[in-house]
Structure 1
Amino acid sequence: MASAKAGNPKSWAPWAIGAVVLVLLAGLILFQFRGPASAGGAVRTVTIAGIAYPYQGGQTYNGLTGVVIEQGWLKEQLARQGVQLAFTPVPTAVGGPLINEGFSGKRIDFASYGDFPAIIAVSGGVPLKLVAPIGQGQNSYLVVRNGLAARGIADLKGKRIALHRGRPWELPFSKLLDANGLKLTDFTIVNINPAATPAALASGNVDATFLLSDGLLLEQKGMGRVIWSTKEAPADWKMRAELFGRGDFVDGNPALTQLVVDAYVRAAAWSAREENRPAVIHDAARGTMPEAIIARDYAESNVTWRERFSPLFNADVAGHYRSVAAYAFDRGLVRSEVDAGKLLDDRFVTQALRNLKLDGFWTPTNAVADKPEPVPPARS
């Protein structure tokens, strides 16, 4: 009887049905990855994967990838070389693992995605290179369900927390636990994707969740409340998303790689201009969430709008990836430690700044890079 009930779709929780749908969607997207990207011989197509969302019957790409597409400059430049440009949309709920699969199978050449999945890929033998940093990182939020009297992570000990394992925001969550003398086993971790989280939180199947700006949206909709965010933590705790290239493609096609990096630096410079702030926020909200949520997520007093989009390989970037690589290895999240020095490849951004006459547009070194930031005290 129990097995018959479990096999009945009518008995499944909404978040479980959503998870099944996303697995099927992931399979369809992997099918899109089939076929040669630039696996050998003359390059015919440069393929870039990026996080995308359904919007008005199509797909809108997140961040600078969307700007690159709208500007059209990269497509034109590659066409002059007899090379086509292809973009592959990837849903945020299955982003990192799916992009890693694309890199591993040499079905994509570049991707704009998170730090933690990239470290996992490199540790597993996928030859990636970080060819262009993208901004100052993204915030994460700890949200508790309505009616739960909790003011900090310590109050959630023994509770059920929704956390999509292996995604970039797992790192700041783990650091939050460490700072408060806690560990994952102090909680029941429910491994579900962000799309399934609202239903699980509303139904009481989980007591809290750890998300990116989705957490602010949950609060705005009255489905929970934010009790902590990485805005309260050192800058190193933020999730970073960068432009990564497949190592063999980058080394074998430096001229094409330069065009790709030039396009992303162009997009960063456009986004960094104050007069374009409304357009950046508007575009970021398409197919995702209200503009007010995007603006609230971006609002930080210690990072100027221009520096938010800096593509420079400064001390913060290098330190961040050393920290992520060491942290992932020390906590057993990866089997072999990644050499962050070999991961970072700054030659293309350096040249892009010259090509685009952007030397001096961004500050070479962040002010916070010269002194360590204190770890925030435990909250209870």
Structure 2
Amino acid sequence: MSSKLLAFSALVFSSILLSSGCAKHETETAQSEQPKDPNQLRIAVVANGTTGSLDFIGAPEIIAKDPIFLEELKKRHVKLTWEPVTTAAVATLVNENFLNNRIDFAFYGNLPSIFLNATGTKTQIIVPGGIGSNVYMVVPSQSKATSIEELKGKKIALHRGRPWEVNFAQLIQDKGLKLSDFQIINLNPQAGTAAIAANSVDAFFTLSDALILEDKKIGKIIWSSRNLPRDWKMRAELWGSKQYLNANPEVTQLLADATVRAYHWISEHQDEYQQSQTKFGQPLTVIQREQDNNSAWKNNWNPSYDIQILTAHYDRVIKHAIDHQLIQDPIQSSELLDPKFTQQAVKNLKLEDYWADQP
């Protein structure tokens, strides 16, 4: 692997500047030498093995047990392999697996996918991730700060290169601030939590773990996206290798159908689904509060492939990556979008009217 490609891997997960030109050539060469096997389907998924069995976070847990999906793959002699990744290193592992042709699809976030596409390894959004996840600004419980403006010049823990970095940038830009106005400490969520508990940072920008910190009276939330429009949420989608989906559209469609079918099931089984997610360590009350997105539960799982919303979102993500020198070569958001699989899945499942009344 070239030194520049190694630098890319470091950037995605340590925020080191990417030089993508050489990586493009090497990636394209590697892909041409390793054609996709039409009889396999490899999906990266965030997983947890602490319960004694391998459990998948979110909709993939439903997809993995979908009898229709499994039977259709069996009929076509397609071997399904789930590639588990940890929450602490989702971006690292998924992008490395895509780069090295070890996976065909992944459920993961927006900014790391931009890094990947900037190298020339092309992926597209097969099924959007619904309304998205909330982001939070939390400060130590004894802090007097009540707004992001009051944190100017202070230490803020933020895991660089992860999807919620874009939301942090969105927040400070909305307040007329910039990244250099703060002392950004690059910490993963686990380390950020510890830093808040030890009062070694003045704030922590993160996901729903902020709710746990608040419940334990270790921290207090001074800002969140919970009651804000969907363009303030952190997005994660089902991404697929463009090479694979072009070569295997039928199998790709089966996965799209299974994903939309999972969203539909979850939208009708709120209590059962939320209870199932407690196995990953978060209390039920935290899960319920996090998934209260100021809209109907049903809408949280709307797979609508809204080109306008997705284009605006990924234009902003790409601009952030370029402005902060996370990528050198710009890419077009239109290259990331392919709505046909989701649209066909909705038709196949006769769900055209199911989410029609949702915004």
Unaligned 5+ residue runs, structure 1? Answer: 1-18, 20-35, 368-380
Question: Hey, what does 1:85 align to over in structure 2?
Answer: 80
Unaligned 5+ residue runs, structure 2? Answer: 1-12, 14-30
Farther off after superposition, 216-225 or 40-49: 40-49
- How much identity, in percent, do the aligned residues show? 38
Shift of 1:235: 2.2
Deviation string for 1:135-171 (max 9, x for gaps)? Answer: 1011000000121110011111222111110000001
Question: Hey, what does 1:198 align to over in structure 2?
Answer: 193
Instruction: For 2:55 and 2:231, locate their aligned partners in 1 and report how far apart those are by CA, in whole Å.
Output: 29
Which of 292, 301, 305 aligns to 1:309? It is 301
Shift of 1:361: 1.4
Given that residues 77 and 259 in structure 1 are in contact (C-alpha distance below 8 angstroms), is that contact kept between their aligned partners in structure 2?
Answer: yes
Shift of 1:70: 2.6
Instruction: For 2:36 and 2:104, locate their aligned partners in 1 and report how far apart those are by CA, in whole Å.
Output: 14
Instruction: For 2:127 and 2:311, locate their aligned partners in 1 and report how far apart those are by CA, in whole Å.
Output: 12
Question: Hey, what does 1:279 align to over in structure 2?
Answer: 272
Deviation string for 1:314-366 (max 9, x for gaps)? Answer: 132332222222333234332222211121111111111121121211128x6
Instruction: For 2:108 and 2:39, locate their aligned partners in 1 and report how far apart those are by CA, in whole Å.
Output: 24
Map 1:58-77; keep pairs closer than 5 Å.
58-77=53-72
Instruction: For 2:242 and 2:36, locate their aligned partners in 1 and report how far apart those are by CA, in whole Å.
Output: 16
What secondary structure is seen at the aligned counterpart in 2 of 1:341? helix
- The count of corresponding residues between Structure 1 and Structure 2 is 328
Q: Structure 1: which amino acid aligns with 2:64?
A: I
Map 1:174-323; keep pairs closer than 5 Å.
174-273=169-268, 276-301=269-294, 303-314=295-306, 315-323=308-316
Question: Hey, what does 1:378 align to over in structure 2?
Answer: none
What secondary structure is seen at the aligned counterpart in 2 of 1:286? helix
Deviation string for 1:89-139 (max 9, x for gaps)? Answer: 111111012101111111000000111111121122220011111210110
Farther off after superposition, 329-338 or 261-270: 329-338
Deviation string for 1:245-297 (max 9, x for gaps)? Answer: 01100101111111111110110111112xx0001111222213001001001
Given that residues 163 and 190 in structure 1 are in contact (C-alpha distance below 8 angstroms), is that contact kept between their aligned partners in structure 2?
Answer: yes
Question: Hey, what does 1:349 align to over in structure 2?
Answer: 342
Given that residues 51 and 279 in structure 2 are in contact (C-alpha distance below 8 angstroms), is that contact kept between their aligned partners in structure 1?
Answer: no
Question: Hey, what does 2:331 align to over in structure 1?
Answer: 338
What secondary structure is seen at the aligned counterpart in 1 of 2:222? strand
TM norm structure 2: 0.87
Say whether 1:363 aligns with 2:349.
no
Deviation string for 1:45-103 (max 9, x for gaps)? Answer: 21100112234123321111111013243222111111111111111111012101111
Map 1:55-134; keep pairs closer than 5 Å.
55-134=50-129
Q: Structure 1: which amino acid aligns with 2:296?
A: T
- Runs of 4+ in structure 1 displaced over 6 angstroms? none
| Superposition CA RMSD, Å | 2.0
Instruction: For 2:153 and 2:319, locate their aligned partners in 1 and report how far apart those are by CA, in whole Å.
Output: 28
TM norm structure 1: 0.82
Structure-2 change in CA distance of 1:156 and 1:54 (3 Å): farther
